[in-house]
Amino acid sequence: MRGFAARADVEEVERFLAERVRPLPAQAVPLAACFGRVLAADIRSERDVPAFARAAMDGFALRGTESFGATDYDPIGLRVIGVALPGRPFAGVVGPGEAVRIMTGAPMPDGADAVAPAEICEEADGRVSVRDAVPPLRHVGARGEDVRAGETVLHAGRRLRPQDVGLLASIGIDTVWCHSRPRVALVMTGDELLPPGSRPEGAKIVDSNSLVLRGLALRDSAEIVAVEMLPDRPDRIRTALLRADVDVLLVSGGSSVGQEDFAPRLVAELGTLDFHGVAMRPSSPVGVGRIGKGQGLRASQAGPVPRSEAEPSEAERWVFLLPGNPVSCLCAYEFFAGPSLRALGGLPRAWPHRRARLPLARKIASAIGRVDYVRVAIENGCAVPLATSGASILSSTVRAAGAVIVPRGLEGVPEGAEVDVLLYDDAPLEAEGLP
C-alpha cells in the first residue's frame, strides 16, 4: 500500500468536468410523464387561451350599455332568449332588450359584452330584471387573457412544476422536448456489505451509501437504472463498469490505493482515469474517469439532436469513484458527481442548496492547499461545527443543518467570522425540528 503521489485541486477537477460534461440529447416526453423533467427548448403558445371571450360569473349576458341607470328601485327588464353553458355556447345573437342566462366559463354569446351576476338579477316568466349597471366588459374574461398566441410561456432549462405541465396542456401541447435524464447505475463494492433492509451482524455492515446516493441522484435529475452490490473482486467490478445502458456509474468503496481497491485500476485499464486523489477533506481518495460506451442508440431515446460520437457525454460513461466512508461518499458526490448529473440533465451545475450566512460559533481548522467540507449545526443563529465529524460518522450529517466549505487558500475560519452554510433542507430553519 502506498499513498497518493500527488493530489489534484478541487477546482481543477471541477473545471475539467464543467468543460467536458454536456447535456444529453433531448427526447419527446408525453405530458403525463413531464413533471420534474427539464425543458430542452422554449415553449411558445400557438394560440390564445381561452380562444373565446368567456363569462367570469354565473348570471346573464347582456349589452352593457343597456344596463346604465339600473338601480334597486328602477331595474331594467330584458327578455331571456336562451342559455350559454361551458362547452355549449348559445348559437344566436343577443339583440337590444335581450339577455342569455350564462354560467362561468361559457363563451359570451354574440351581441353581448357584459355579465350581470345572478346576485343582482331576478328571473321570472322568461324575463330578467337587473338591479345594477354592468358596463361593457364587466365580468367577461377576454380571449387570450391567460395566454396570448406567440407568447413564450416557459423557457429552456425549466424544471417543470405541476402547474407548468397543466399550462402546457391548456395551450394544446401533447409532448414536450425534455433533456434526457442521465441513466445512473449505483455500484456498491465491499466484502463487508449487507443489502439495505438487513440487520447488521458480525463483521458485516449494512450498505447505506446506495440510499444516500439514490436520493441525491434523483434530486439531480437522474434515473436510477440499477443498484448492484459487489464483493471486492476485480472480475465483478469490471463487468459492472462495462454496463452499456448507463451514462454515469457511481461506484462506492474501494476507491483508494489499498490492495482491495480495484476500481481505479480497472477504470484506467478500460478507459481513462482522469483524476485520482483530490486535495480535500473528507473524500480525498475520490476518482473521476470515463469509459467508452461503444455505439448504438438507446431504445428510449429520440430527439432533434442526433447522437454523435464527438459529444463526450454521449460516447462515454462517466465514472465517479466515491470513497466508501459515508460522509466521504456524500461529499465526493456533492462536489463532482452532482454537478455532472445536473449538467447531463440540463440543470445548472451549481449546488442546489439554499444558503444561510451565519457567524461561526467555534473556529474551523483547515490547511492551505486543501478544501474542507465541514458539517455544522445551527444553534442560536450561529453555525456550530460538529465535533464528532470523522468521515465514517454518517450521523454527523443527520445532526447537521448543513455544511460549510473552507476554500483551498485558507488555513481555517476564525470564530465569529461569517460563513455560508449550504443547507441540507429546503424547509425554513425554525421548522427543522433538530434534536
Q: Is there binding between residue 285 and Mg ion (CB under 5 A)?
A: no
By a kind-dependent CB cut-off of 5 to 8 A, residue 23 interacts, out of Mg ion, ligand AMP, none, with none
29 — phi, psi (to 5°)? -120, 130
313 binds, among ligand AMP, Mg ion, none (CB under 5 to 8 A by kind): none
Quick one: 195 or 304, whose CB is closer to ligand AMP? 195
Name the residue nearer to Mg ion (CB basis): 286 or 371: 286
Using CB atoms within 10 Å of the CB of residue 47, give its burial: 0 to 12 exposed, 13 to 18 middle, 19+ buried.
middle
Record the cell numbers describing residue 391, joined without a space. Answer: 468521515
Whole-number Å distance between alpha carbons of 333 and 213: 8
CB of 34 to Mg ion, least distance (A): 40
Cβ within 8 Å of residue 62, ≥6 positions away: 78, 94, 98, 99, 100, 112, 114, 115, 116, 130, 134
Among 255, 283, 313, 397, binds ligand AMP (CB under 6 A): 255
Closest approach, Cβ 256 to Mg ion, in A, equals 9
**Binding-residue total with ligand AMP (CB under 6 A):** 18
Closer to Mg ion by CB, 141 or 254: give it. Answer: 254
Residue with Cβ nearer ligand AMP (112 or 240) = 240
Sign of torsion over alpha carbons 188, 191, 192, 193: positive
For residue 223, the surrounding DSSP H or E stretch is strand 223-230
* Shortest distance in whole angstroms from residue 199 CB to Mg ion: 20
Contacts of 431 (CB under 8 A, 6+ apart): none
User: CA-to-CA distance for 252 and 244, rounded, in angstroms?
Assistant: 19
When binding is defined by CB under 5 A, the residue of 25, 141, 190, 287 that contacts Mg ion is 190
Cβ proximity of 418 and 356 under 8 Å: no
Find the binder of ligand AMP among 89, 182, 253, 264 (CB under 6 A): 253
CA dist 193 and 208 (Å) reads 9
Contact residue for ligand AMP among 323, 339, 345, 346 (CB under 6 A): 323
The Cα 64–Cα 306 span in angstroms is 57
Taking CB under 6 A as the criterion, which residues in 378-397 touch ligand AMP? Answer: 392
Q: Which does 188 bind (CB under 5 to 8 A by kind): ligand AMP, Mg ion, none?
A: ligand AMP
Query: Which residue lies nearest ligand AMP, judged by its C-beta?
Result: 324
Is 301 a binding residue for ligand AMP by CB under 6 A? The answer is no
- Crossing angle for the helix pair 263-270 and 234-241, nearest 10 degrees? 50
254 touching Mg ion, by CB under 5 A: yes
Of Mg ion, ligand AMP, none, which one does residue 339 interact with (CB within 5 to 8 Å by kind)?
A: none
37 sits in the region (left: phi over 0; alpha: psi -120 to 50; else beta) called beta
- Cβ burial, residue 76 (10 Å; 0-12/13-18/19+): buried
CA pair distance 96, 132, nearest whole angstrom = 17
Q: Which of residues 189-248 bind ligand AMP (CB under 6 A)?
A: 190, 192-193, 205, 207-209
Minimum distance between the CB of residue 404 and ligand AMP, rounded to whole angstroms?
A: 23
Closest contact distance (angstroms) between CB of 258 and ligand AMP is 7
Q: Which positions lie near Mg ion, rule CB under 5 A?
A: 190, 253-254, 324
Q: Contact positions toward ligand AMP, by CB under 6 A? A: 188, 190, 192-193, 205, 207-209, 252-256, 323-326, 392
